Amino acid sequence: MLCYGSVQRLALILLVSGFFRASAWGPEGHSLVARLAEARLTPAAAAKVKEILDPGATLPSISSWADQVRNVRRETASWHFIDIPISQPHLDMARDCPKGECVIVKIEDFRKVLADPGASPVQRKEALMFLVHFVGDMHQPLHCSDNKDRGGNEVRLDLFGHNTNLHSVWDSGLLGRMPSQDTLFAQMSKDLTDGRAKKWGKGTARDWAEELHAASVKVVYGKLPKAPAGGEIHITPQYEKAADRLIRQEIEKAGARLAAVLNEALK
């Protein structure tokens, strides 16, 4: 089996060190979501994915494409997230996505393109590549929440000796401290039972955003250690344990939901 670990884990280290602008999950998390989804495609959907993508390409291999083109296609930057204030109890599309340029709207837009047999091959391929990434993106809680801090990007803290920010910690910092991607994939595949996948695959992107917003309020910000007077926030083992549990669950949910979206669009 192909090992995805080494190159992508190097990218995670660079992300935490501040060499790259934070996105969501980082290459390892997006690849995990795609691998979990790929394993749950119906035969019909799997055949159509193979037909749509370039020869030799797979869902994991294109799972970070949307990040790779973001600097060239700057109009796509806001498509990766939706800022739901943590001070508010629920999503409000008029408030949080007034121009329709957010992850919820784009998931629906690209789902329709992918399901349209009349769309051009280029349009369907791009729709598929955006969908794979955006379903993963929105399951990073800070891509569905904001505390007037650019989704945690302005919250500086220390991650066990690494100076970073809250968004990067949730993108890749904590995930990079977990076991290798292949080990995580094996564990998550075992945990993602048919019953869980069926349950989690229900609902819409709006439903999922509400869920992620609540998780961010409760865990990401709610359990974040306080900075001492004149000092900086330090991630504690207790916070890491709570965060790891949520990260694993949300990656599994993203994999189940991505499979459900693709199976429905490509039936």
Say how far apart CA 29 and CA 142 lie, in whole Å.
14
The per-residue pLDDT for 25 is 85
- Sheet of 162-165, strand order: 162-165, 156-159, 233-234
Domain ranges of the chain: 5-265
The per-residue pLDDT for 151 is 95
Class of domain 5-265: mainly alpha
Residues in the chain with pLDDT < 50? 1-22
The per-residue pLDDT for 28 is 95
Say how far apart CA 51 and CA 262 lie, in whole Å.
14
For residue 185, give both structure tokens. Answer: 């994939």
The per-residue pLDDT for 231 is 87
The per-residue pLDDT for 204 is 97
pLDDT in tens, 148-166: 999 999 999 999 999 999 9
Cβ atoms of 267 and 204 closer than 8 Å: no
SS3 assignment, position 189: helix
- Strand 156-159 relative to strand 233-234, pairing: parallel
The per-residue pLDDT for 24 is 74
The per-residue pLDDT for 7 is 35
Cβ atoms of 11 and 26 closer than 8 Å: yes
